């Protein structure tokens, strides 16, 4: 049932990504970056489907299952980048104002720490009890690590991530940083706190499956948040036709006064 449902979702993704490729070619003016990103999503979903087939064939090899999740999260981040770039002007010579070089460097560090959190998180799942654990199924091979040890490594990386997000939010608020950065850091702070609480609760309650599912949803939310926070480090003009008239100017040739307000 799970495998078949996954295939149905994959077919839907292929249809959506194919439509995205067509739209990227029909767009006027056509932008090479959007075409490339659209094709990367198509290639990514096919690669993920092939990997998923291998995962099933190898009876849920935990290393391949971890890679399957990492590739899926990478595709999610790629989709966020495509959505962002489709709304903003990335043409040569377009406005690209770095809000704060320090926070931009910090955003890259956050990305690296988040990758570590996800890496140890997949290892935690791979060492846990769930795969193939339903009645009538064979229990899949697990990673050869003590669950407690992997959880401690995952928790340490998660605490480091939460600490950095908290410090970033406090610094931006105290220095009256750009609103988009403060909002992005605040969302990351709240989601990472909720994710940490879910992680602690699921370990304390011996990993009930429904909490693991919530934890995976939280990982997707953080992947989106981290990607958006990175993209928001550079202020760009909106593409014509995508501007919210209530909050942004409607032309690319906005004055410096308008730019500073934004």
**Tens digit of each residue's pLDDT (9 = 90 or more) over 151-208:** 999 999 999 999 999 999 998 888 888 888 999 999 999 999 999 999 999 888 888 8
For 93-237, which CATH class? mainly alpha
How many percent of the chain have pLDDT more than 90? 53
**Chain centroid to CA 205:** 27
Its pTM stands at 0.85
Q: Which two tokens stand for residue 144?
A: 């050869």
Mean pLDDT of 80-91: 93
Identify the H or E element spanning 83: helix 62-87
Residues 192, 113: contact at Cβ < 8 Å? Answer: no
Selected residue with higher pLDDT from 244 and 109: 109
């Amino acid at each position: 049932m799970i495998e078949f449902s996954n295939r149905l979702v994959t077919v839907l993704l292929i249809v959506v990504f194919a439509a995205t490729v067509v739209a990227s070619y029909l767009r006027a003016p056509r932008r090479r970056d959007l075409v490339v990103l659209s094709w990367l999503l198509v290639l990514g979903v096919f690669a993920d489907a092939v990997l998923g087939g291998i995962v099933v064939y190898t009876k849920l090899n935990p290393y391949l299952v971890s890679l399957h999740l990492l590739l899926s999260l990478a595709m999610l981040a790629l989709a966020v980048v495509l959505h962002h770039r489709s709304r903003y002007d990335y043409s040569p010579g377009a406005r690209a104002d770095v809000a704060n070089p320090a926070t931009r460097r910090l955003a890259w560090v956050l990305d690296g720490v988040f990758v570590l959190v996800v890496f140890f998180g997949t290892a935690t799942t791979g060492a846990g009890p769930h795969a193939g654990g339903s009645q009538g199924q064979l229990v899949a091979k697990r990673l050869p690590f003590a669950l407690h040890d992997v959880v401690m490594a995952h928790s340490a990386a998660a605490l480091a991530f939460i600490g950095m997000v908290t410090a970033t939010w406090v610094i931006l608020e105290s220095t009256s940083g750009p609103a988009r950065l403060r909002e992005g850091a605040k969302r990351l702070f709240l989601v990472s706190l909720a994710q940490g609480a879910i992680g602690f609760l699921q370990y304390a309650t011996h990993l009930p499956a429904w909490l693991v599912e919530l934890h995976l949803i939280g990982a997707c939310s953080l992947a989106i948040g981290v990607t958006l926070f990175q993209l928001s480090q550079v202020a760009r003009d909106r593409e014509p036709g995508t501007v919210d008239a209530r909050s942004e100017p409607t032309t690319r040739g906005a004055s410096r006064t308008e730019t500073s307000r934004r």
